[in-house]
Amino acid sequence: MRVLVTGGAGFIGSHYVRSLLAGEYPAFAGAEVVVLDLLTYAGTRTNLPADGHTFVHGDIRDPAVVGAAMAGTDVVVHFAAESHVDRSITGAADFVSTNVVGTQVLLQAALDAGVGRFVHVSTDEVYGSIDEGSWPETHPLEPNSPYSASKASSDLLARSYHRTHGLPVCITRCSNNYGPHQFPEKVIPLFVSNLLDGKKVPLYGDGLNVRDWLHVDDHCRGIQLVAEKGRDGEVYNIGGGTELTNRELTHRLVAAVGADESMIEKVADRLGHDRRYSVDWSKIADELGYAPRVPFERGLAETVEWYTANRDWWEPLKAR
């Protein structure tokens, strides 16, 4: 078996690769693993083991590079994406180019190569914002940021390649991920690293925006279940089961680092800031047996400990 992992040097992709190479996914034991990554600001080979895989430094928007990497592939797990909402607000072009055009290039190459399974990793942000309840997979896509709009577009392309060409595609949509090796522009590593450096942390608006938190290990296990047993053409939400306001999360992080509330700085709200995300993940639970295993309290404590112990990993990244 040959598995192509796009964006495999990033936060979630590298966790998937490390888990796969460590034997945590027995159905893929002994698989040849190929990582395709452009190594933009958020990707680093320090996230990956020194051996056990083939690394291809390349752009998913380049048909020649993608075609060569795709040859002989059985399963594609597509993580590669521009993913930071704030960056998409100040400059959307890279998000459209990478997330939409890059995904189309991959889908076409997978079709041409006769790939047996294409897992397209997406986000709950494509649904928009929800005041109460949780989104099922059938909810209309109502993205509110250039980032989420680009991901919704890529979801629709993935669906179209299944409907039009019969490409065996599955789409996953996850809630907010956290864990080690996350680039320090995202809220948890940004706040922890700031606090460790004695810097204040920025809390948007009134701090009452709500997110569901999902440990990266649980997310990757959910993706693997879809890769192994998901039904072609289906969408699967993957959630963590811990909803917190940004204010609640910030206070937990301040306490975990041993700081006080004077380190919280209220700042103007983000443009188009979605109020609440919440996915209904009963489908993947009922069909594939998924359930999150990492309790948020333990996962958050271990994440804070990891950033505390690995300053040499995140300091160079914050300096980029």
The catalytic residue positions are: 124-125, 147
Helix (H/G/I), strand (E/B), else coil: 218: helix
For residue 7, what are the CA distances in angstroms to 56, 126, 273? Answer: 10, 20, 26
DSSP per position, 107-123: HHHHHHHT-SEEEEEEE
Checking 195-200 for CB contacts under 8 A at 24+ apart, the result is 195/253, 195/254, 195/257, 195/259, 195/263, 196/257, 196/307, 196/308, 196/311, 199/263, 200/263, 200/264, 200/265
- Per DSSP, 276 falls in state B
Burial 306-320 (b: 16+ CB within 10 A, else e): bbeeeeebbeebeee
Residues with Cβ < 8 Å from 269, sequence gap 6 or more?
A: 204, 205, 206
**Is 111 within 8 Å of 167 (Cβ atoms)?**
yes
How far is 59 from 81, CA to CA, in rounded Å? 11
For residue 25, what are the CA distances in angstroms to 28, 32, 70, 226? Answer: 6, 13, 21, 12
How far is 254 from 279, CA to CA, in rounded Å? 27
